[in-house]
Amino acid sequence: MNVSKHKSCFCYTCNKSFHFHGINRHRSRHRDKKEDCKIRYTNGDIYTFNYSADKKESDK
């Protein structure tokens, strides 16, 4: 994967790319809506956030 040179993140849930400055805010929107989201960060790491299964794990 050669995505790390681009300063962009990608939300697989929305199928949209985001500036790395905006991705945390975007993730918060999913959290607020209790939606699962899968996000690729600038370093190429992909994380899945299970916000729909929320309640037990509170946001740190």
Binding site for Zn ion (CB under 5 A): 11, 13-14
Beta bridge partners of 19: 8
Strand order of the β-sheet with 46-49 is 16-19, 8-11, 37-40, 46-49
Q: Which is nearer to Zn ion, 11 or 51 (CB)?
A: 11
- Gap between the Cα atoms of 16 and 58, Å rounded: 26
Q: Which is nearer to Zn ion, 4 or 48 (CB)?
A: 48
Q: Which is nearer to Zn ion, 8 or 13 (CB)?
A: 13
Shortest gap between Cβ of 18 and Zn ion (angstroms)? 8
